Amino acid sequence: MESHAEFLRHVSLDDALVDALKLDFRTAPIDDADRAMCEYVEQLSRDATQLGPQNLDVLRGHGFDDRAILQITLIASWFNYINRVADALGVGRAAATP
């Protein structure tokens, strides 16, 4: 999460926002559409089998069209995948001493 936070800090120039998002997106100063997107991504990351048409309807209700929903889903899924690969290979961990 740190690398993502640092990227957001760099592009937003808003340390308080980044810190609030890291703490809890539910209480961070973001709009309802962004909060709905974060809730969707959280569920996708925890257990995507529990997502259904109602979740997509919530996103649509916040102005996301099908293309945007696809992009959100693909990006979040890719990050989940690549983070697991990195974790499995020990990327970012200190080298073990023999």
Whether the pLDDT of residue 95 is over 80: the answer is no
- CB of 35 closer than 8 Å to CB of 6: no
Q: For 27-62, how does the pLDDT look when each residue is reduced to its tens digit (9 = 90+)?
A: 999 999 999 999 999 999 999 999 999 999 999 999
User: How far is Cα 66 from Cα 88, in angstroms, rounded to an integer?
Assistant: 33
51 three-class SS: coil
pLDDT value at position 14?
Answer: 74
Average pLDDT, the chain: 88
Whether the pLDDT of residue 96 is over 60: the answer is no
User: How far is Cα 97 from Cα 58, in angstroms, rounded to an integer?
Assistant: 50
Burial 73-84 (b: 16+ CB within 10 A, else e): beebeeeeeeee
- CB of 67 closer than 8 Å to CB of 35: no
User: How far is Cα 37 from Cα 23, in angstroms, rounded to an integer?
Assistant: 17
pLDDT value at position 1?
Answer: 59
**Percent with pLDDT over 70 in the chain:** 92
Whether pTM > 0.85 for this model: the answer is no
Residue range 70-75: mean pLDDT, rounded: 96
